[in-house]
């Protein structure tokens, strides 16, 4: 088993907050996260931010191929040591946001999964990049701050429901797996974490909705979440016909004039996007 403190000492590595370096030290939690992946030899796994490789080893025991992308070059010698027994792991010293993901997965025929204890400073950009990417991912498993996990898995009508919840549901079926105490990390972060699993899905009613326009509507609707839709979305300069058209659209869709963004399901947003596009507001 990997002893995080020993390895950090051996390679004289001081962890840095700027790169979101909170390393998991509890092997039971690591195995629990990896188990959520239901890994098979036919699986390709991308791990973002392997750290010193504690989770990478557990992934490599089960998956066919593993690519681990670590931005911090100081960690590479330690990673090479902890991963030396595994011939199915490729290490890449790069910023995940700068990589061409397609070229990495090549012509792999099996499932593509991503497992990551995400660096906190860049959680949402990485999640959005993967959700929107062209790569054919099947499952995404992320450990994130508990508050972000709750937003990702939230349903309409709850306080955590946000534009992130809508984006997650647009691409996937989310599951809040379990929470992880801040005591399981070195150094100890200020908040607890949670693991979320996203299974890719395609919803038939989204097929004929313009994606760009859909997200423009979602973003504008949640921009002032305490306001009604008429006062958030309805006041956008790009909305043809402004509040009047929106009022009419809400009527067509059997939605109250006082409705707020947090009450609308993914399908409601899809219907809004389709109907408003017919009024000429589409991008």
Q: Where along the sequence are the contacts to ligand SAM (CB under 6 A)? A: 19-24, 48-51, 54-55, 69-72, 95-97, 117, 119, 122
**Smallest distance from ligand SAM to CB 43, Å:** 18
Report the nearest approach of ligand SAM to the CB of residue 25 (Å). Answer: 8
Residue 251 CB, shortest distance to ligand SAM, in Å, is: 46
Nearer to ligand SAM, 56 or 271 (CB): 56
**What is the spatial distance between Cα 88 and Cα 164, in angstroms, rounded to a whole number?**
34
If the CB atoms of residues 91 and 230 are measured against ligand SAM, the closer one turns out to be: 91
Distances in Å between the Cα of 220 and the Cα atoms of 127, 128, 142 are: 20, 17, 27
C-beta of 143 vs 206, nearer to ligand SAM: 143
Q: How far apart are CA 164 and CA 162, in angstroms?
A: 5
CA-CA distance, 81 to 45, in Å (whole number)?
A: 20
Closer to ligand SAM by Cβ: residue 95 or 208? 95
Residue 90 tokens, joined: 């490729």
Which of residues 7 and 277 has its CB atom nearest to ligand SAM in the complex? 7
- CB-nearest residue to ligand SAM: 49
Main-chain dihedrals φ then ψ at residue 70, nearest 5 degrees: -125, 125
List C-alpha distances in Å: 23 to 49, 149, 184, 269: 10, 18, 8, 38
Please give the full DSSP string across 49-83, using - where no structure is assigned: --TTSHHHHHHHTT-SEEEEE-S-GGGHHHHHHHT
Minimum distance of ligand SAM from residue 207's CB (angstroms): 33
Q: How far is the CB of 50 from ligand SAM (least distance, A)?
A: 5
Which DSSP helix (H) or strand (E) runs through 213? helix 211-222
């Amino acid at each position: 088993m990997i002893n995080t403190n020993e390895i950090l000492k051996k390679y004289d590595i001081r962890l840095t907050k700027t790169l979101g370096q909170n390393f998991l030290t509890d092997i039971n939690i690591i195995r629990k996260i990896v188990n959520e992946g239901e890994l098979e030899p036919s699986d390709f796994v991308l791990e973002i931010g392997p750290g010193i490789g504690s989770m990478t080893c557990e992934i490599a025991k089960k998956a066919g191929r593993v690519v681990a992308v670590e931005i911090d070059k100081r960690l590479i010698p330690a990673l090479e040591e902890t991963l030396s027994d595994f011939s199915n792991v490729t290490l890449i010293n790069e910023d995940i946001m700068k990589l061409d993901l397609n070229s990495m997965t090549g012509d792999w025929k099996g499932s593509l999964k991503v497992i990551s204890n995400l660096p906190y400073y860049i959680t949402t950009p990485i999640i959005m990049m993967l959700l929107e990417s062209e790569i054919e991912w099947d499952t995404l498993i992320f450990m994130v701050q508990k508050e972000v996990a709750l937003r990702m898995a939230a349903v309409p009508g709850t306080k955590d429901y946000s534009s992130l919840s809508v984006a997650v549901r647009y691409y996937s079926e989310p599951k809040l797996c379990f929470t992880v105490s801040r005591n399981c990390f070195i150094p100890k972060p200020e908040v607890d974490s949670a693991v979320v699993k996203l299974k890719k899905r395609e919803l038939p009613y989204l097929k004929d909705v313009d994606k760009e326009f859909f997200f423009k509507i979602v973003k504008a609707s949640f921009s002032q979440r305490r306001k009604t839709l008429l006062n958030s979305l309805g006041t956008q300069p790009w909305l043809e016909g402004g509040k009047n058209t929106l009022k009419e659209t809400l009527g067509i869709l059997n939605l109250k004039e006082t409705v707020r963004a947090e009450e609308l399901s993914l399908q409601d947003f899809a219907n809004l996007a389709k109907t408003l596009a017919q009024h000429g507001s589409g991008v």
